[in-house]
Structure 1
Amino acid sequence: MSDELMTAAASAAEPAEGLRAVRALRALADRLEALHVERARRLGWSWQQVADALGVSRQAVHKKYGKRLG
């Protein structure tokens, strides 16, 4: 979804349009987080460093990405 479409959907009077925009933003945020966690790990960041950058616990970030990234 483009920025323009998301802006239009977020300001729409119809709740379904706004909720679709929220869902699209969550999906985008999840993809960006996974990309950057993987990149950080490949560059040698510890799970604690990643967790600190995301503002979550080390356990939370490791639980979410540990199996995927090894």
Structure 2
Amino acid sequence: MFRGLLEPTHLILILLVVLLIFGPSKLPEIGRSFGKTIREFRRASSASFEEVTAEKEAAPSTAEKTNG
């Protein structure tokens, strides 16, 4: 269904449309904010993964104390 969606010619066309809409002076700012957004998303997903992992590791030890 989405086969060949992001071919190089499509990416160039998208870049040209973005350039026409926002202009060359706004592109660095847009790229910077996009990078910050991706970085925050990765940081949040990593933090939630670590939280879930810590909860999984702590759960069996709590269950053993109540059963024993």
TM range (shorter): 0.3 to 0.5
TM-score when normalising by structure 2: 0.45
TM-score when normalising by structure 1: 0.44
Name the larger-Rg structure. 2
